[in-house]
Structure 1
Amino acid sequence: MSSLQISLAIIGGLVLAGVVAYNAWITRRSAPRTASERVPQDGAPAADERVFQATQPGGLTAGERIEPVLDDAVQGAMGGDVGGVPPRAPAVVPVTLNHVVQAPEKRPGLDALIDVIAPLQPEGPVSGEALLAALPGTRRVGSKPFAVEGQHEATGEWEAPRPGQRYTALQAGVQLANRSGALNDIEFSEFVVKAQAFADAVGAAPDFPDMRAEVARARELDHFASGHDAQLGFTLRARRAAWSPGYVAQHAARLGFVAGVLPGRMVLPGSEAGQAPILSLSFDPQAAMADDPEQSALREVALSLEVTHVPRSEQPFVRLRQAAAALAEAMDGVVTDDAGQLLSADTMDRIGADLEGLYDALDSHDLAAGSPQARRLFS
């Protein structure tokens, strides 16, 4: 073999090796990042963890603290009046809308602020067993929750009927408004029929409030709620390589997120038991349920905040903003709106400032964000 042939063979081999190496690099680059990647080796907090630690209550330095201070477009959206007729959807901050459904751990009691309440006076004390047996099969009136409470014979406290207890007074109630709209005439009439049937079954005399006044009150409450209902969210998008579900969960867990009830959802728990999650992180549930989730490719995840469900004391917007930044840095992503536009610091500052006004308005109506009344009204 001549030297020329040998040289050509060597060159051909190098070219072939280069093609193989390039294809391997492309394959590697296009594969989703998995949970085993980018784990700190020295025991130090990961980048996302270090950033997020600064957002915890009590963990902010004077230079790092960002007061939760919705932009003008949000306030405009909050001013709409549905008049109690069509179903009410929350005003959407022009970032992204990710509805978070949270089942309350314990149903709050009836409250005259957000419920129609009809006293039911029995002839004498009634057992919890008798009340439970007389309850209607469905606890709803149209689209509104219906409830019955009894005044405990020993404690005088109002509560849902329980076996083995006795009650000296009763009351039935229906919620004035929720995200389906205001209580209307038909629903009020259905409430009267349902409460009357229950009262007859337990030998109690009902005293129903005036329908016109209660329906008007329902519309007024619904009008206020329509203008102060907000859900806020950011979208995290991958810059280059996609993420696997495990990779996302790994980094979110470092910030305190835990697995939610639904596939593809994680939540940041509140500081108190029974409190709604502070934040929710969600991604494609099909990817989470795949036979091999680590081979599923995610190019975006959503971080969301149910504004009216989380107390202001939890600094929810500060934590939303900083969690998004921490995850974006750690996973090589960017924070955008739902249209893919990058969110500037000025935009986030305006959102935070408008949120302060929303919180103040809720407080002034005794519907503080995160309170049982607010969670029921904005549901």
Structure 2
Amino acid sequence: MSNLTLGLAIIGGLVLAAVVAHSTWTSRKNAPRQAQRDTQTEPGFDAGAAPHGEPELQEPTFDSAPVPLPLPERKPGLDALIDVIAPIVLDAPASGAVSGEAALAAMPPTRRAGSKPFAVEGLNELTQQWETPAPGQRYGAFQAGVQLANRTGALNEIEYSEFVMKAQAFADAVNGEPEFPEMLDEVARARELDQFASGHDAQLGFTLRAKSAAWSPGYVQQHAARLGFVAGVIPGRMVLPAGAPGLPPVLGLAFDTQAALADDPAQSAIREVALSLDVPQVHRGEQPFLRMREAATALAAAMDGLVTDDNGQSLRAEAMDVIGTDLEQLYDTLDARELSAGSVLARRLFS
């Protein structure tokens, strides 16, 4: 073999090796980032240094004074502020009250009138409290109700008529007589409430976008868990639980469901994650927007991402400050209307 042939062979081998190396480097660079072994035992904002040199997730410092969190609430009951209520007087209460079993048997098969929740409550003879009928209890009076408005719109005439039919059927079954409010008055009240709710509803969303390499589902879940997020009921969704049991989550975090359901999720490439806040559903004492902002910032730093709005525009600190100020005004308005964010009534109205 001549020197020229040998030299060409060596050069060819070097070129081939360079191509293979570049291909391997590119493949690794573009591969989704994977979760690493984590020695933490509990998630939290004070997670400490992350493995493999990843940025530490720092605990946020809240500037505003804490607002007391609500105590766990009983099952929501009818309220004249957001419900049409029809009293049902029993024909002969002196002869004995209606049992809970009889009341439950008289209930309609569905608890809705159109798109609005329908409910019946009984006045418990023992406690003298209005409650959903229960076995083993006796009731001396009843009231039927239908919600005036929710996120589907205001109660209309057709839904009101369905409410009347269901309430009348229940009253007949328990030997009672209902007294219905004037339909036109209640429909007008429903429209006014719906107009207020539509003008004071707020569902916020941040999008976290990958700057370079994509993320695997496990990578996203690991970083979110360090901030207190837990798995939701839907694949690809996580939630930040409220401070009291039985309340809606403070924040939601979601990514592509198909990526989470893939045969090999580690190879699924996720390039964006959505953070969400349903403002009327969460008590202001949870400081939800501040926690949303802190979580977005911490995740962006740890995962090499960028926080943007739904249109892909980067969200600067000044823009977030404006949103926070507007939310405080919204909270005050809801409080003044007795529909405080996170309350039973607000959660029912904004649902």
Q: Are the equivalent residues in 1 in contact too, given 2:78–2:145 (CA < 8 A)?
A: yes
Task: Please give the residue correspondences for 1:1-379 in structure 2 after superposition, counting only pairs within 5 Å.
Answer: 1-36=1-36, 44-46=48-50, 50-51=57-58, 53-55=59-61, 60=62, 65=63, 107-122=75-90, 123-124=92-93, 125-379=97-351
Cα 1:66/1:10, change in 2 over 3 Å: farther
Paired residues in the alignment total 333
Q: CA RMSD in A?
A: 2.1
Please say if residues 151 and 159 of structure 1, whose CA atoms lie closer than 8 Å, have aligned partners that are also in contact.
yes
CA distance in 2, matches of 1:37, 1:66: 36
Tell me which amino acid in the other structure corresponds to 1:317: F
Letter in 1 for 2:13: G
- Residue 119 of structure 1 aligns to a residue whose secondary structure is strand
Residue by residue, what CA displacement relative to the aligned partner does 1:74-133 show, whole Å, maximum 9, x if unpaired?
xxxxxxxxxxxxxxxxxxxxxxxxxxxxxx997511111100111111222110000000
- Measure, in 2, the Cα distance between the counterparts of 1:230 and 1:48: 32
The match for 1:77 is: none
Equivalent residue letter for 1:33:
R
SS where residue 367 of structure 1 aligns? coil
Equivalent residue, structure 1, for 2:69: none
**Contact conserved, 2:224 with 2:299, CA < 8 A, in 1?**
yes
What residue in structure 2 maps to residue 90 of structure 1? none
Deviations 1:240-262 (A, max 9, x none): 11111111000000000001011
Give TM-score scaled by structure 1 length: 0.84
The SS at the match of 1:50 is coil
CA–CA separation in structure 2 for the residues paired with 1:376 and 1:270:
17
TM-score of the aligned structures, taking structure 2 as reference length: 0.90
Q: Runs ≥4 in structure 1, deviation > 6 angstroms?
A: 37-40
Secondary structure of 1:321's aligned partner: helix
Helix, strand or coil for the counterpart of 1:374? Answer: helix
C-alpha contact (below 8 Å) 2:77/2:131 kept by paired residues: yes
**C-alpha spacing 1:112/1:370, structure 2 compared with 1 (3 Å):** same
Cα deviation, 1:248-283, whole Å, max 9, x if unaligned, reads: 000000000001011110000000011110000001
Q: 1:48: how far off?
A: 6.5
Distance 2:208 2:55 in 1: 14
The answer as to whether partners of 1:49 and 1:255 remain within 8 angstroms in 2 is no
User: Which residue does 1:88 correspond to in 2?
Assistant: none
Shift of 1:45: 3.7
| Contact in 2 for aligned 1:152/1:158 (Cα 8 Å) | yes
C-alpha distance in 1 between matches for 2:214 and 2:200: 37
Please list the CA deviations of residues 113-161 of structure 1 after superposition, one character each: whole Å capped at 9, or x if unmatched.
Answer: 1001111112221100000000001111111000001111111111111
Decide whether the 8 Å contact of 1:66 with 1:318 is kept in 2: no
Q: Give the gaps of 5 or more residues in structure 2.
A: 41-46, 67-71
Q: Percent identity?
A: 68
Deviation per residue, 1:331-379 (Å, 9 max, x gap): 1110011121111111111111100110000000000000010000001
Report Cα offsets for 1:201-242 as digits up to 9, x if no partner: 001111111222211111111111010001001000000111
Flag the 1:147–1:357 CA change in 2: closer, same or farther, 3 A: same
Deviation at 1:199, TM superposition (A): 0.2
